[in-house]
A and B are shown apart, each in its own frame.
Chain A
Amino acid sequence: MSKRFGAVVALRDIDLTIERGAIHALVGENGAGKSTLGRIIAGGQRPDAGSLVVNGRAVRYRHPSDALRDGLTAITQELTLVPAMTVMQNVFLGTESTKGGLLDGRTQRKQYAELDETTGFGIPGHLRVAALPVAERQKVEILRALARRAELIVMDEPTAALGKDEAARLLTVIRRLRDKGVTILYVSHVLHEVLAIADTVTVLRDGVRIRTAAADTQTPETLVAAMLGRSLNVTFPPKTPPGRDADVVLSVQRLARVPVVKPTDLEVRHGEIVGLAGLVGSGRSELARLIFGADKPSQGTVAVDGRTVRIRGPHSALRAGIAMLPESRQEQGLLTQRSIAENITLTRPRQVERVGFISKHAETKEVTAAMRRVDVRATSPADRVATLSGGNQQKMLFAKWLFANPRVLIADEPTRGVDVGAKRAIYELIHRLAADGLGILLISSELEELLGLSHRILVMRAGQIVAELDGRDADEEAVMRAAFGTLSEHAVATGGDPR
């Protein structure tokens, strides 16, 4: 089976067999393709090539409800419950029993009692979902999957929002489901959990299936080794470390937004590229947003070139010289229906104003220069942004943030959804910006990228920076180990919650 999203290949000729009544785990780095595969199986997405065979029958799902009819369903990280309705209403949403056209409450309550006995959850059915904590809501999703007579449940990072005890309880429930004959596809990056619960483990890397083996033949180390990739055919410009006397341009102290980001300190010097590594949910983007003022911190300070700045929002961050290239360009970066010129000048329109009005002439001149600086390929600054390729859109966003003349640039996933050629161009751009004296905080889920560009790497896990590695002698394994947090490290480092 294969699947690509634009220029990015998510799944490459994957063959996978999942046995009935087993817990089959799917592991891999961010972007390895595990969530995509899970979604395709449950009917949320269609593959570009390949086939899906369920119970010996070849199927083609156009919609999750098609998959549901065959007993396949998914529980994702984004909970899909209706908060205003009760637990029972949610559980039977779409499968309500009726008598004579009206809802049959008595049958429903009986069915709910049966489900409750099977799972042992003990959640009163009349409670409103909005009143339940996340751990309980996840259980409601499981109940719903069972009510829909699911034979295979894809669970995507089910313990991501749970504490240690709740996670252990959930694993017990999952084992019980397996014993009752339900098949589980367990997608997760919490390796010790995976090994504790799964019967079989499959490792994906860059959209390719690397290995499928019985869980008891694997250890966290062997799994991590299989997840690491050989490098893509992208080379990196040679690193030029910041000068010995380079001043600190960005200083963050005790910045926090509990519980997602714990009190954090970090520093970036002029000309330095600091990489921020970590798994999804470790708090990297959240930390970046706090620094930029996109979210309000509960405590902490930010200083630029030694001066503390009151970050009341992105506008004051920009004025202080901090710029941030956000994670999702579609949702957070682009005005897709407007022109390139309008997008680029948005961060500092004053630069193209003459006597209070925007001068088309000045705008064209400045924007063309900005486009050339980052190598945006487009016919003219008046082109609509929607017509640009992903790589060009991303480069344009760089131009937009550089237009504000920042001293610090936070780049969150700068090459997401960008083809190899544009990636190389962006790497060179980042390198050049640092060489010009900009301080750069780089967030990326692609380890090669982080290692290839950064002078220093900070690894985050569960909202804290847990390791600092020198860019010269850091390697993938060291970063991964810190990011995943193998058990031995916990005992030594924190003695606290491994999550």
Chain B
Amino acid sequence: MRGYGIVLAFIALFVTLSVASRPFLTWGNLFNLLDQNAGVGIVAVGSTIVFIAGGFDLSVGAVYVIAGVVAALAAPHVGAGAALTLGVLVGLASGIVNGLLTTVGRINAFVATLATATMIGGLAVAVTNGAYIEVSDPSFTLLGRGSLGRLTYPSLVWIVFTVICAVVLHRTRFGRYVFASGGNQEAARLSGVRVGVVRAACFALSGLSAGLAGILLVSRTATGQAAGASFDLVVLAVAGIVIGGTSILGGEGAIWRTILGVLLLAMIGNGFDLLNVDPNYQDVVRGAIIAIAVGIDAWARRSSN
């Protein structure tokens, strides 16, 4: 169970849904599933790295929102491409702020990212005055609405981002330092790892991922708005990470696990929709699964030590 319970669960659910619902196992549905979860998926991948480093990022929802708002506001002035890039950079910047707060500022991650989440969320409302920012430039939506065959651009971005993060995490020096910082901070420090720098970089990456997800959304809807994902996105991303088997305590985990976790949750929602289950119950089931997954993870750790 310590290793591959999630894979079994994933396969089991996939098979069950394929049998229970005809429309589930169609290319259309599956590609759609991928596309709809690209945003959450990108954020989850970024957050996975933060978790493994021993941190926690509550601000991804707020960054997701403000990145889109900034891109929408900037588009008429600097053009679509620059505006979208700016949105991503806003994400990166907020991640750096989180990094500084938690290392130099010595504020614990939960509190620091909660603070930035609140501030950034408020900033988004202030900047938009609560209104929708419509973007009329058609090139703005190329990224969000375009596709390569049946694979939408957002899905493609998710896949590429995932591969890059996986390679960085599992195949580079930096990735090793991430695991060490989260696994045993003191041992890492005494081994010459600059734990503070590593953690800060992870927060920066998390911010970037939230920004990326945010501009993909706004690029599809052509509407920047301050109301939006906020903490729901955090919960969904964290749920995907935890179900996948990455430990919230840090030091262990993998990107592929997060992908499975996110898709598992997505399939549940998808299955409920296809089977016409009352949407009110989805959250109940989702919450219950998180509790079970975390419980099993904690139990498995304790019993194997």
Contact = CB atoms under 8 A, between A and B. Distances in A.
- How would you classify the secondary structure of chain A's contact residues: helix, strand, loop or mixed? mixed
Contacts of A417: none
A447 interface: no
Contacts of B187: 326, 331-335
A372 interface: no
A337 interface: yes
Nearest to A323: B192
Contacts of A326: 187, 190
Contacts of B189: 294, 313-314
Interface string A10-47: 00000000000000000000000000000000000000
Nearest to A319: B192
A356 B172 contact: yes
A313 B194 contact: yes
A332 B252 contact: no
A213 B183 CA distance: 49
Contact of B190 (A324, A337, A386): A324
A487 interface: no
Interface in A329-368: 331-338, 342, 345-347, 349-350, 353, 356-358
A358 B173 contact: yes
B171 interface: yes
A357 B193 contact: no
Nearest to A348: B192
Interface residues of A, number: 31
Contacts of B180: 335, 338, 346
A363 to B, nearest CB: 10
A270 interface: no
Nearest to B252: A337
Given A335-B251, A356-B172, A314 B179 contact: no
Given A335-B179, A335-B183, A337-B251, A347 B173 contact: no
A358 B176 contact: yes
A357 B179 contact: no
Given A338-B179, A386-B305, A349 B191 contact: no
Contacts of A294: 189-190
Contacts of B173: 349-350, 353, 358
A335 B194 contact: no
Given A332-B187, A335-B179, A342-B179, A357 B171 contact: yes
B139 interface: no
A140 interface: no
B188 interface: yes
Given A292-B190, A314-B192, A333-B187, 15 more contacts: A315-B192, A315-B194, A331-B186, A332-B186, A333-B190, A334-B184, A334-B187, A346-B176, A346-B180, A346-B193, A347-B191, A347-B192, A349-B177, A358-B176, A386-B305
